[in-house]
Structure 1
């Protein structure tokens, strides 16, 4: 009987752990060189959105100086952001959380493809993105996953307030306005809270 209870408990723990990992799936990114291949696919003003079989969307854009590829994952709060020189060689790449604040290591490369710098974007942020997810769940704030074409969704970004690194969370509240919350980047303590009128663009 005890063995059955233990096995049931282990099975339940594994299932919950699996759900937790799925909920906060973090894509992998490395410091390896890469080169982008510009495919002859449907194109509109040098921007395109490609849906892949791996349940992700790739948003490609081009400017005069560089290419950009953002990869959104259907079941993740994160995306991959990669910038390329015009020769197709990687310029820099990192993971981004929610609306685009880089997290983890931002890798920089020169035009020959050589890795020249590894920048720790989490410096000064002991309150992690995973802590942000927990905070939002606790406070009934819905965080979006994957790619969304339009509309207002909860926005989370890193910022600096009075010399202190902070997280800024903005989300819609029932009366149609936006609730803005500022959390200390070190401790997660709430520093500011204000209601901002929602203005449709």
Structure 2
């Protein structure tokens, strides 16, 4: 019986650890880095490059001023974004949501000069005392489904989370499909988490 009890406890711990791992934010540090040399051949030949890997989805876009690298881990709500100078040295890096639209910077972002010196550190979460993790808990309590992992264009409607400063006050906005033909938009106070409004609108699948 004692062994059975210990086994059950172990399984619970493993299960809890796995659940936490699925929603854990990837860690972004302030260390200088250069673009992975494995990707350089693709970048030299193409302006845009994307690839599905065993661990997630990579997107690289190059223009006349910089190179954008984005990686969305499997089963994650987050996307790692790194912008590089054309000499392949890091310019800035941080996290956004995994959606390809209406996203915003999350947590601390780091910016570097061309010599690799850290010149700026911005905490984009600071105004929002009602944190993103608390927004996720709110969505879970309201049975609002969030899409994990790579979310690509043309894959239908996905719950969208936005945030902004409105009339000098931080707010969260959640838009989700409440019914097959109904969207609900919920506005939360970015400091207290209080529900400020709920509004329904018709959803038309184009």
The answer to whether the 8 A contact 1:77-1:97 is kept is yes
TM-score (norm 1): 0.87
RMSD, aligned CA: 2.4
Q: Distance in 2 between matches of 1:188 and 1:44?
A: 48
Secondary structure of the structure 1 residue equivalent to 2:41: coil
Per the alignment, residue 31 of structure 1 pairs with 30
Per the alignment, residue 136 of structure 2 pairs with 133
Residue 76 of structure 1 and its aligned partner are, at CA, apart by 1.1
1:116-150, Cα deviation, whole Å (9 max, x unpaired)? 11111111212222212211111111101111222
Aligned to 1:147: 150
SS in 1 for 2:120: strand
Separation in structure 2 between the aligned mates of residue 18 and residue 181 of structure 1, nearest angstrom: 30
1:117 corresponds to 2:117:
no
What TM-score do the two structures reach when normalised by structure 2? 0.85
2:179 aligns with 174
Deviation at 1:39, TM superposition (A): 2.8
* 1:50 is the counterpart of 2:51: yes
- Consecutive unaligned residues of structure 2, counting only runs of 5 or more, are none
Distance 1:157 1:41 in 2: 33
Distance 1:179 1:84, change over 3 A: same
Determine the structure 2 residue equivalent to 1:165: 170
Structure 2 residue 82 is the aligned partner of structure 1 residue 88: no
Q: What is the aligned length?
A: 199
Q: Which runs of 5+ in 1 are unaligned?
A: none
Question: In structure 2, what is the Cα distance between the partners aligned to 1:117 and 1:42?
Answer: 27
Asked if the contact 1:22–1:75 (Cα under 8 Å) also holds between the matched residues in 2, the reply is no
